[in-house]
Structure 1
Amino acid sequence: MKITRFARLGAVAAAAALALTGCAVNEGGGSTAPAGDDGLSGTLVGGGASSQEVAVQTWTSGLQGDNPDLTIDYDPAGSGTGRESFQAGAFQFAGSDRPFTVEEIEAGPFDACVEGSDIVELPTYISPIAVVFNLEGIETLNLDAPTLAGMFAGTITTWNDPAIAALNEGVTLPAAAITPVHRSDDSGTTENFTDYLFQAAPDVWTSEPDGVWPLSGGEAAQGTSGVISAVEGGQGTIGYADASRAGDLGTVAIQVGEEFVPYSPEAAAAVVDASPEEEGRAPTDIAIALDRTTTAAGVYPIVLVSYMIGCADYQDDATAALVKALFEYVASPEGQDAAAEAAGSAPISDALREQVSSAIDAIQ
C-alpha cells in the first residue's frame, strides 16, 4: 500500500534531527560558507529542467539580492542533462521534471555526495503543462484524452476530424493538417505528458512514459523555448509546454469526468495534494506518484512537478551550506509566491512545505 506524504512527516523529522546532530560535529567551513552578518558568498552551479527556468531565475535573483557576494548559475539544458551532470558532480544541484528512479539511485554514484549519502529531491515547482496550438481565430478547444493522444500519435491528422469537431460544437475547424511538435531533448516535460497519455488513453497511446519522445513523425524542437517557437512559427501546429510559457497561443481544456478543465495553478495543485508518494525512498527523497486518471471536479491532470535535487551529505561543507540556503528560499512562502507571480506556478501547500523543510534541514 502506498503511503501519503503526510504519513511520512514524522520519519522525515527524525532523519532531519539525526542529520543536524551530525552537522554540529562535522562543522568545518570553506571559502563559500555563509558569512554571518555579511550574508552568503561564493558560487553555485546547477542546471536541468527548462520548464522551471523562470522560477529558478526568480529564486536566484531573490536570494542574490540579499546576498551580493553570492552567484548562482543555472543552465536550463533539460532534465536529463541536469540529472546526468549532477550525478557526475558537474552540477552542485539540479532541476528535474521527474525524480531519479529508485534503480538510478541504487546504481549511483553521485560524485558531489559523500559515499552512501541519500539524495534530496524536493517537489517545489508545480505547474500545469499547457497543450498549446496555433490556429487562426481559435483561442481555445476542448479535447479528451483519446483525441489528444490520437493527434500526437498521428492517427488524427486534420483539425476538422470528426473526433475533434464532436467536442467543439459551434467552432469552425479548418481542414488543415495537424503538425504535432515534441521535445527533441530528454525532457521531464515529455515524460509527464506521455505519462498522462499512457494513463488516460492507453488504447490509443501504447508507448510507456519516457523523457525521450517515443515516436517518429511530427516536428522536434529543443527545450521549452524551442517548442513554443515552433508552435508560434507554424500554422496548424500543436505542442506541449510548461504553462508559464503559453503566452498568446491557443490552449486546450482537458476533459475530466463530465467537464472540460482549462489549465490553472489551482487545478494543478489539486492533483498533487491528492496523490500518494512513491515507495522505497529515503525520507529526504519526496517523489510524488501523480494520479492522472482522477475524475474529481476542477482538477487538471496534465501536471508537471519539477524537483530541486541535491545531496543529503555533500563532500564539501561550503557547498552544502549554499545549497541548503537556496533550497530554504525556494521552499519558503516568499520564494513560492515570487515564483507563482513570475511563472504562474502553484505554491506548495503548507503540509508539503513542512515535509520539504524537514528534508532541507537534513542537508549537511
Structure 2
Amino acid sequence: MKLHRTGAIAGIALASLLAISACGSDNTDDTASSSGSSSSANPNCAEGQIAASGSSAQGTAMNAWTTAYAKECGAQINYSPTGSGAGVKDFTAGKVAFAGSDSSLKDDEQPAADARCKTGKAINIPGIATAVAIVFNVNGVDKLALDPATISKIFQGQITTWNDPAIAKTNSGAKLPATAISVVFRSKDSGTTDNFTKFLDAQTPETWKLGTGKGWKGKTGTGAPDSAGVVSALTGKDGSIAYVDAPDAKKNNLKSAGIDTGNGAVEISDDTVGKAIAAATQDFQGNNLKLKLNYGLKDAGAYPAVLVTYEITCEKGLSADQVKLTKGFLSYILSDAGQTAAADAGYSKLPSEVLTKAQAAAAAIA
C-alpha cells in the first residue's frame, strides 16, 4: 500500500517531535522515561539504584535481568549472590530492598521480616523455577543414573566408592571405577541445600537421617561457601559429587546424573522440571505466594529435585527511594521478556497460573 506524500511528511515530522519530547522528559516522574526513547516502551522502567542479595541459584538469571534492565531503563540493581540465608538476613536488617531466596520465608522468619517493613507485611513472590542438579566428576564416566536412596547414602558417607553395587545397579553396563567418592556441600546457609535435603527426606525417609534446612548437617565431605566454590571443588578433584542449581551446571559444562524414582532415569529439561512444578500445591494468601513442592513425586517423566526462587520484599513499607524501582524491576523479571531471558540462561519459566499471581503481587508493591 502506498502512502500519500504529504501524509508521509507529516508522519515524519510527528515522529521527530515525539522523539524530541522523549529526550527532554528525563526529569519527569514518568517511570518509563529514565533512559530515553528505548525505555519509554517499557512500562516497568524506573530510575535510581537499589541493593539486593541472596540466592546464588538465581545468580545467573539476575545477571541477565539486571543487565537487560539497566540497558533498557538506565537504573542500577546491585545484586549480591551471597546465598539465600544471607539474603534473608540482609533484608530483615534493612540492608537491601529485596532478598532472593530458594525457599519462602519460614514461619519463624516472618515476624522479623514483617518488622522490617514497618507499615506492611513481607511477601514472597515466585521469580523463576529450576532444578537441583546432582553433578559429578568421575574420570571415564560421562552418564550416570542414581536412585534417591543411593544419593542419600552417598551424601551421608555410607557409599564411599564409585563401583559400589548400589550405583552399578542403576548403571547397567557402565564401567565404574573404584575411585573414592568425594562429597562437596554448601557450607553456608543455602536455599539449594534446603531444597536438596527436602527432596532426600521426602524420597527416602527411612534412609536420610540429616533432616532438612538451609544449613548442611552432614559430616562427610568438603564444604564450599557458595555455588562458585562448589563448582571449583568439584572440578578440581576426580571422584567428586555435589549439588548445584541447573543453570550453574549448564554454564560450567558439568555432568548431571539422572534421577530414577522407579520409572527409569529422568534428566533435567523444561518438560521434566515443569511436570514437577505443576504438581506443587499453591499456598497463596493475598500477595504472599508460596508453593509447596512435592519433593516425594515419583511420576514418570518428572524430575523431583526442583526449586522455585522467591523475591522477598515489602508489600508496603519500603523507603520512598526503593519502592518504585523494586516494583518496576520485579515486574520486569515476571514479564514475558524477563522470564524468557532467564529461560535462555537455563532456567524454567513459571507456570502461567503462578506467573499471573506473581505479576499481580509485584504490581501491588506500594
TM-score norm. by structure 2 comes to: 0.86
| Aligned equivalent of 2:88 | 83
Displacement of 1:273 in angstroms is: 1.6
Could you tell me how far apart the structure 2 residues matched to 1:175 and 1:126 are? 36
- Contact kept? 2:33, 2:73, Cα under 8 Å: no
Displacement of 1:38 in angstroms is: 3.3
| Aligned equivalent of 1:358 | 360
Comparing 99-108 with 56-65, greater Cα deviation is found at: 99-108
* 1:324-335 equivalences in 2 (<5 Å): 324-335=327-338
SS at match of 2:285: coil
- Contact kept? 2:114, 2:122, Cα under 8 Å: no
Are the structure 2 counterparts of residues 91 and 168 from structure 1 closer, same or farther at C-alpha, using a change threshold of 3 Å? Answer: same
SS at match of 2:33: helix
For the pair 1:316 / 2:319, whether they are aligned, the reply is yes
Could you tell me how far apart the structure 2 residues matched to 1:315 and 1:361 are? 14
| Aligned equivalent of 1:55 | 61
- Contact kept? 1:133, 1:251, Cα under 8 Å: yes
Could you tell me how far apart the structure 2 residues matched to 1:180 and 1:55 are? 27
For the pair 1:266 / 2:268, whether they are aligned, the reply is no
* 1:112-151 equivalences in 2 (<5 Å): 113-115=117-119, 117-151=120-154
Query: How many matched pairs?
Result: 328
Displacement of 1:37 in angstroms is: 2.8
Cα-to-partner distance string for 1:260-299 (whole Å, 9 max, x where unaligned): 1011232112211211034xx6311111111012222211
SS at match of 1:132: strand
1:87 maps to amino acid: T
Cα-to-partner distance string for 1:18-44 (whole Å, 9 max, x where unaligned): xxxxxxxxxxxxx99754533522111
Could you tell me how far apart the structure 1 residues matched to 2:29 and 2:150 are? 53
Are the structure 2 counterparts of residues 32 and 253 from structure 1 closer, same or farther at C-alpha, using a change threshold of 3 Å? Answer: farther
| Aligned equivalent of 2:42 | none
1:240 maps to amino acid: Y
2:88 maps to amino acid: R
Displacement of 1:106 in angstroms is: 3.0
- Contact kept? 2:91, 2:98, Cα under 8 Å: yes
Displacement of 1:248 in angstroms is: 2.7
For the pair 1:157 / 2:160, whether they are aligned, the reply is yes
Among candidates 218, 240, 245, match of residue 243 of structure 2: 240
SS at match of 2:292: coil
Displacement of 1:315 in angstroms is: 3.8
Displacement of 1:103 in angstroms is: 2.6
Displacement of 1:119 in angstroms is: 1.7
Could you tell me how far apart the structure 2 residues matched to 1:75 and 1:99 are? 18
Could you tell me how far apart the structure 2 residues matched to 1:323 and 1:36 are? 14
Are the structure 2 counterparts of residues 356 and 61 from structure 1 closer, same or farther at C-alpha, using a change threshold of 3 Å? Answer: same
Could you tell me how far apart the structure 2 residues matched to 1:228 and 1:199 are? 26
TM-score norm. by structure 1 comes to: 0.86
Displacement of 1:175 in angstroms is: 0.7
Displacement of 1:323 in angstroms is: 0.5
| Aligned equivalent of 1:294 | 297
Displacement of 1:108 in angstroms is: 4.3
2:275 maps to amino acid: A
| Aligned equivalent of 2:172 | 169
Among candidates 204, 216, 220, match of residue 217 of structure 1: 220
The percentage of aligned residue pairs carrying the same residue is 35
| Gaps in structure 2 of 5+ consecutive residues | 1-26, 36-45
- Contact kept? 2:186, 2:230, Cα under 8 Å: yes
- Contact kept? 1:83, 1:96, Cα under 8 Å: yes
| Aligned equivalent of 1:37 | 33
Could you tell me how far apart the structure 2 residues matched to 1:32 and 1:156 are? 64
Displacement of 1:72 in angstroms is: 0.9
| Aligned equivalent of 1:348 | 350
Displacement of 1:241 in angstroms is: 0.2
SS at match of 1:348: coil
- Contact kept? 1:33, 1:321, Cα under 8 Å: no
Displacement of 1:123 in angstroms is: 1.4
1:56 maps to amino acid: M
For the pair 1:253 / 2:258, whether they are aligned, the reply is yes
SS at match of 1:164: helix
For the pair 1:104 / 2:109, whether they are aligned, the reply is yes
